[in-house]
Amino acid sequence: MALLAVLIRGHKITTVQILFFCAVIPSVILHEVSHGVAALAFGDDTAKRAGRLTLNPIKHIDPFGTIILPILLILSRAPGVIGYAKPVPVNVSRLRNSRNSSVVVSLVGPAVNIVLAVVLGLLFKDLVSGQFARVNAVDHIGPIWAQFLFVAGYVNVLLAVFNLIPLPPLDGSAVLERFMPRSMLPGYYRIRPFTMFVPLIVVVLFQGALQSFFSWFFIHYANAVV
């Protein structure tokens, strides 16, 4: 938060960027909590015993992934703002029917973001009176609360779409894992914790492709809620 304060004082961050930042934190926390809740439903109480089934942000904030990374991406004008909370611990071996339920546990995070995007979009459409006012909010004009509703919805679209990319450790990789031979899984699980920076590398190396990718979702989400 000290970094955010410095950037604001230096006039290097805009109101819209602050709205993006404020939307990312609760969105990634809800994303992570949902993984733990799903794991508990399938028999693994690791996240519960670790005290991670809570909405208390202090329990989930990762200094780099939840604060520094989103700010750096905002300031570098990256095509999308991503972030992550401290990963919720899940012991796959304790899940009932682990190969199938692990896919559900992984995909429930993006599913929660999709639900949030839909709910926020409906609220935006219902609470912001008139198409002209909604267009203004999309263009970052008008009441801050209206702008935030749209930004928060779009942030959840970004989180859902990005996390569904089938690259470890993103949630979409669970689908690939499901089709791996069992003999390969132990080795894969050993290297998986060290793939945390793969998404950041993708953002840095493929900015143009991601810009087009995310712009398509922006246009369609904006059209749907306006």
Within 10 angstroms of residue 186's Cβ, the number of other Cβ atoms is: 8
Of residues 162, 148, 141, the one with CA closest to residue 214: 162
Alpha-carbon distance of 218 to 186, in angstroms, equals: 39
Q: Which amino acid is at 128?
A: V
Report whether 105 contacts 35 (CB < 8 A): yes
32, 44, 171, 177: the catalytic one is 32
Of residues 144, 160, 148, the one with CA closest to residue 110: 160
Catalytic residue status for 177: no
Report whether 195 contacts 74 (CB < 8 A): no
CA 175-178-180 angle, to 5 degrees, is: 115
Alpha-carbon distance of 141 to 17, in angstroms, equals: 14
169: cis peptide before it, omega within 30°? yes
Which residues does 102 contact at the CB level (< 8 Å), separation at least 6?
90, 92, 95, 174, 177, 178
Which residues does 130 contact at the CB level (< 8 Å), separation at least 6?
none
Instruction: Give catalytic residues, as residue numbers.
Output: 32
